[in-house]
Amino acid sequence: MTPKLAIIGDVHGCYDELTELIFTHLVGRQLVFVGDLGDRGFRSLDVIKLVMSLHENGAAKCVLGNHDDKLRRWLKGNAVQVSHGLDVTIRELNKAGSEIKGRVFDFLFSLPYKLSLDEGRLIVAHAGLEEHLQGELTGKRKKRARAMALYGKTTGKTDEDGFPERFDWAEDYRGEATVVHGHVACEEVIVKNKVWNIDTGCVFGNKLTALLYPEMETVAVHAKAVYTAHKPLLQV
């Protein structure tokens, strides 16, 4: 039987919007998060704790996002650049104490780079995965595959606004599986071939979106505030 899922875009600490989305539109569905749970928003720890609880109860799955990866590296004691809202999340964790830090550490280190769902017909990765890398997360090209899952496919250069230049890999995607990702904030959901980008920039004042699967319909709630300095959202 095809599972009834709700795949939720980048939350980035937007707790009020997340709870409204879940309890108004997504009741009775298995939740799947595309990662980037915290940073930038006002209630990152509350978001992480909610998703941890849902995960522990079997009500949700989650893949690792680049912000989640950076937070877990900080928790491990690695030197990381404290920027793009990580400082806010760190303050919340330091205030919460060692027990919650330990729980968050264990949770983040349990997250996969990719989820293969519905017998392989659906793949969820934070920034997406090209077809030839979908089976390489533990293979010979695992570093390349994991880098794409976290950051997408980039040129290594930045644009005039200081953001990474990206290859539009979805334009050439011909894989059999539908790929759902976030990472690149857009005004609206972008669909190319069988690739769905569902990050609609809630933390930048736009909206938080979920994709209903297998119906392939979207539901969204509008942001209640602009939580961080606005960045240009990609237009459809």
Does the residue 45 lie in any domain?
yes
Residues 10-45: tens digit of each pLDDT:
999 999 999 999 999 999 999 999 999 999 999 999
**Number of domains the chain is built from:** 1
Range of the domain at 156: 5-222
What tokens appear for 233 in the block?
Answer: 């959202």
Q: pTM, whole model, 2 decimals?
A: 0.94
Q: Is residue 57 part of a domain?
A: yes
pLDDT tens figures, 141-156: 899 999 999 999 887 7
Return the CATH number at 132: 3.60.21.10
More confident of the two residues 162 and 58: 58
Q: Is the pLDDT of residue 160 over 80?
A: no
* Residue 148 resides in a domain: yes
